[in-house]
Amino acid sequence: MKNQKIKILLIDDEEEFISTLAERLELREYLCKTAGDGQSGIQMVEKEPFDIAIVDLMMPGLNGLDTLRQIKEINPDLPVILLTGHGSTKDGMEGMRIGAFDFLIKPLDIYALIDKIKLALAAKAPQVKS
Protein backbone atom coordinates (compact mmCIF):
# COMPACT_ATOMS: atom_id res chain seq x y z
CA MET A 1 0.00 0.00 0.00
CA LYS A 2 1.52 3.32 -1.03
CA ASN A 3 0.97 6.25 1.27
CA GLN A 4 0.46 8.81 -1.49
CA LYS A 5 -2.79 7.14 -2.46
CA ILE A 6 -4.28 7.36 1.01
CA LYS A 7 -6.64 10.24 1.59
CA ILE A 8 -7.24 11.29 5.18
CA LEU A 9 -9.95 13.61 6.52
CA LEU A 10 -8.99 15.34 9.78
CA ILE A 11 -11.86 16.87 11.79
CA ASP A 12 -10.96 19.00 14.82
CA ASP A 13 -11.88 22.51 15.95
CA GLU A 14 -8.26 23.20 17.00
CA GLU A 15 -7.14 24.66 13.67
CA GLU A 16 -3.44 24.89 14.63
CA PHE A 17 -3.48 21.26 15.71
CA ILE A 18 -5.00 19.77 12.57
CA SER A 19 -3.04 21.98 10.18
CA THR A 20 0.25 20.91 11.81
CA LEU A 21 -0.79 17.25 11.98
CA ALA A 22 -1.85 17.43 8.31
CA GLU A 23 1.55 18.88 7.38
CA ARG A 24 3.36 16.07 9.21
CA LEU A 25 1.22 13.42 7.54
CA GLU A 26 1.73 15.06 4.15
CA LEU A 27 5.52 14.89 4.66
CA ARG A 28 4.90 11.13 4.94
CA GLU A 29 3.04 11.26 1.63
CA TYR A 30 -0.51 10.99 2.89
CA LEU A 31 -3.10 13.28 1.32
CA CYS A 32 -4.90 15.30 3.97
CA LYS A 33 -7.99 17.47 4.04
CA THR A 34 -9.12 19.27 7.17
CA ALA A 35 -12.47 20.36 8.61
CA GLY A 36 -12.85 22.69 11.60
CA ASP A 37 -16.12 21.23 12.86
CA GLY A 38 -18.25 18.12 12.64
CA GLN A 39 -20.82 19.56 10.22
CA SER A 40 -18.18 20.63 7.67
CA GLY A 41 -16.50 17.24 8.00
CA ILE A 42 -19.78 15.45 7.26
CA GLN A 43 -20.33 17.63 4.19
CA MET A 44 -16.87 16.69 2.96
CA VAL A 45 -17.61 12.98 3.45
CA GLU A 46 -20.80 13.45 1.42
CA LYS A 47 -18.96 15.18 -1.43
CA GLU A 48 -15.73 13.24 -1.84
CA PRO A 49 -14.21 9.85 -1.07
CA PHE A 50 -11.76 9.41 1.81
CA ASP A 51 -9.86 6.33 2.93
CA ILE A 52 -9.98 7.21 6.61
CA ALA A 53 -11.27 9.92 8.94
CA ILE A 54 -9.68 11.15 12.16
CA VAL A 55 -12.22 12.88 14.38
CA ASP A 56 -11.78 14.80 17.64
CA LEU A 57 -14.40 13.91 20.25
CA MET A 58 -14.73 17.30 21.97
CA MET A 59 -15.90 19.84 19.42
CA PRO A 60 -18.31 22.75 19.71
CA GLY A 61 -21.61 22.26 17.92
CA LEU A 62 -21.79 18.71 16.62
CA ASN A 63 -19.60 16.65 18.93
CA GLY A 64 -17.29 13.83 17.85
CA LEU A 65 -19.71 10.98 18.64
CA ASP A 66 -22.55 12.58 16.67
CA THR A 67 -20.13 13.33 13.83
CA LEU A 68 -19.09 9.67 13.86
CA ARG A 69 -22.74 8.50 13.77
CA GLN A 70 -23.48 10.68 10.74
CA ILE A 71 -20.29 9.68 8.94
CA LYS A 72 -21.23 6.02 9.45
CA GLU A 73 -24.71 6.70 8.02
CA ILE A 74 -23.17 8.21 4.87
CA ASN A 75 -20.33 5.75 4.51
CA PRO A 76 -20.44 2.76 6.89
CA ASP A 77 -17.14 1.42 5.48
CA LEU A 78 -15.09 4.54 6.19
CA PRO A 79 -12.76 3.76 9.10
CA VAL A 80 -12.81 6.42 11.79
CA ILE A 81 -10.14 6.97 14.44
CA LEU A 82 -11.24 9.17 17.33
CA LEU A 83 -9.04 11.60 19.25
CA THR A 84 -9.73 12.18 22.91
CA GLY A 85 -8.30 13.67 26.09
CA HIS A 86 -7.14 11.58 29.05
CA GLY A 87 -10.37 12.17 30.94
CA SER A 88 -12.61 11.15 28.05
CA THR A 89 -11.58 7.55 27.35
CA LYS A 90 -15.15 6.50 28.21
CA ASP A 91 -16.31 8.47 25.16
CA GLY A 92 -13.59 6.76 23.11
CA MET A 93 -14.96 3.34 24.16
CA GLU A 94 -18.48 4.52 23.36
CA GLY A 95 -17.22 5.61 19.94
CA MET A 96 -15.83 2.14 19.26
CA ARG A 97 -19.19 0.67 20.24
CA ILE A 98 -20.90 2.75 17.59
CA GLY A 99 -18.39 1.97 14.86
CA ALA A 100 -15.07 3.78 15.33
CA PHE A 101 -12.03 1.67 14.50
CA ASP A 102 -10.15 2.87 17.59
CA PHE A 103 -9.30 5.96 19.59
CA LEU A 104 -6.06 7.75 20.50
CA ILE A 105 -5.32 10.10 23.36
CA LYS A 106 -4.06 13.66 22.80
CA PRO A 107 -1.25 14.77 22.73
CA LEU A 108 -0.62 12.28 19.93
CA ASP A 109 2.34 10.18 19.00
CA ILE A 110 2.55 10.46 15.20
CA TYR A 111 4.01 6.97 14.91
CA ALA A 112 1.16 5.48 16.96
CA LEU A 113 -1.29 7.34 14.72
CA ILE A 114 0.36 6.02 11.56
CA ASP A 115 0.32 2.46 12.95
CA LYS A 116 -3.37 2.86 13.73
CA ILE A 117 -4.07 4.22 10.24
CA LYS A 118 -2.28 1.24 8.68
CA LEU A 119 -4.20 -1.23 10.86
CA ALA A 120 -7.51 0.42 10.03
CA LEU A 121 -6.77 0.37 6.32
CA ALA A 122 -5.57 -3.25 6.48
CA ALA A 123 -8.85 -4.19 8.16
CA LYS A 124 -10.80 -2.83 5.18
CA ALA A 125 -8.11 -3.86 2.67
CA PRO A 126 -10.41 -5.15 -0.15
CA GLN A 127 -11.86 -1.67 -0.58
CA VAL A 128 -8.65 0.35 -0.35
CA LYS A 129 -7.19 1.65 -3.57
CA SER A 130 -3.89 -0.07 -4.34
Partner 1 sequence: MNDRDDAAAFFGKVTASTTHELQNVLAIIKENAGLMEDFIQMGPDNLPDLLERVTRCLGKIKEQSYRGVDLTSGLNGFAHTTDRLLAPVNIYEIAKRLIFLTKRVFLQKGQKIVLIDCKNPPSFETDPVLFQKILWHSLECLVEIPEQKSDIRVTIVNSDAGKGIDLCFENPTLDTAYFNRQLQESAKWMDIQTICKEMNLTPSPLAQAPMGIRIMVERTLSIQ
Stretch in the footprint of partner 1 (CB under 8 A) among 2-10, 11-19, 47-55, 73-81: 11-19
Q: State yes or no: residue 110 binds partner 1 (CB under 8 A).
A: yes
Q: State yes or no: residue 58 binds partner 1 (CB under 8 A).
A: yes
**Residue 63 or 75 having the CB closest to partner 1:** 63
Kindly give, in sequence order, each residue whose CB lies less than 8 Å from that of residue 119, ignoring residues fewer than 6 positions away.
Answer: 101, 102
Where on the chain is the footprint of partner 1 (CB under 8 A)? 14, 16-17, 20-21, 23-24, 27, 58-61, 63, 85-88, 106-108, 110
